[in-house]
Amino acid sequence: MHGAAITMTRNIRRVGVPATKRGRPNPAYQAAIHDRRAADALAAGEYASVTVDDPMALDPGDKITVLRQLRNDPLARLHSHHQIDEAQYMAGRCYQRDWERAERGARAIDPTKEAVDGGQLPEPLSDSQGKARIRLVQIERVLGRRTHRVVHAFLIDGWTMEDIAVKFFQRSGHRWANHYGKIIRDGLDELAVEYQLASK
């Protein structure tokens, strides 16, 4: 009975994992197992392929190619079209992370509203939130008010160059979009220096 169980297990393994004549796993079957690409992408989406670190890698440094959603992510769109370099792209992501971290902190209490039983005081800022807020204040000082306004609208509000030209400055056309695109790229250069991703 014990021998029969072993034989059954071996047969299951043969059926489940095709092998070569020498008993090694079939390379074609292994490739099919690790194909984790999504096949149900939304028709309305905008996608571009990007190579990233494999989160399920057995060996350090393994990469996989994934689809990246570009809709509502103008930073990723610029990067996928090679209009900004890796340092500018990573600097933009660092700014977005700092903003998310800083915004996750305590909210101000409105003294004009009626007190509610069971209301709790907001939690104090964590060390990481405090550092993020300090960096954001420093970045605004380095970029200057106008450039910071444009870069913030691009990175946090998800506005395109055309949106910025029309909504902020009531200017339209390809020429103005290019103008504010240059301001965005210059701002990303400054962010790369501030986040120590590039030298001045």
Give residue 184's identity as a one-letter amino acid code: I
pLDDT of residue 45: 54
Statement to judge: residues 65 and 157 lie in one domain: no
Name the nearest CA neighbour of 194 among 134, 151, 135. 135
**Is residue 17 assigned to a domain?**
yes
Statement to judge: residues 15 and 60 lie in one domain: no
Phi, psi dihedral angles at 53 (to 5 degrees): -65, 140
Dihedral sign, CA of 125, 196, 186, 184? negative
Q: Name the least confident of 55-69, 86-100, 114-128, 178-192.
A: 114-128
Statement to judge: residues 86 and 175 lie in one domain: yes
Tokens of 43: 């028709």
Statement to judge: residues 45 and 89 lie in one domain: no
Instruction: Please state whether the predicted TM-score (pTM) of the whole model is above 0.85.
Output: no
Between these two residues, 92 and 123, which has the higher pLDDT value? Answer: 92
* Pairwise CA distance, residues 42 & 35, whole Å: 19
**Is residue 115 assigned to a domain?**
no
Q: Is 52 in a helix, a strand, or coil?
A: strand
Statement to judge: residues 41 and 28 lie in one domain: no
Quick one: DSSP state of residue 19?
Answer: B
31-to-5, 9, 49, 58 alpha-carbon distances in Å: 30, 23, 19, 14
Structural domain range at position 20? 1-35
Statement to judge: residues 130 and 172 lie in one domain: yes
Query: Of 24-33, 60-69, 78-87, 111-120, which one has max mean pLDDT?
Result: 78-87
Total tally of structural domains belonging to the chain = 3
In percent, how much of the chain has pLDDT > 90? 40
Is residue 84 within 8 Å of residue 198, measured between CB atoms?
no
- What is the mean pLDDT of the segment spanning 80-92? 93
Statement to judge: residues 132 and 163 lie in one domain: yes
Query: How many CB atoms are closer than 10 A to CB 145?
Result: 9
Statement to judge: residues 45 and 26 lie in one domain: no
Statement to judge: residues 92 and 130 lie in one domain: yes
Statement to judge: residues 150 and 176 lie in one domain: yes
In percent, how much of the chain has pLDDT > 70? 59
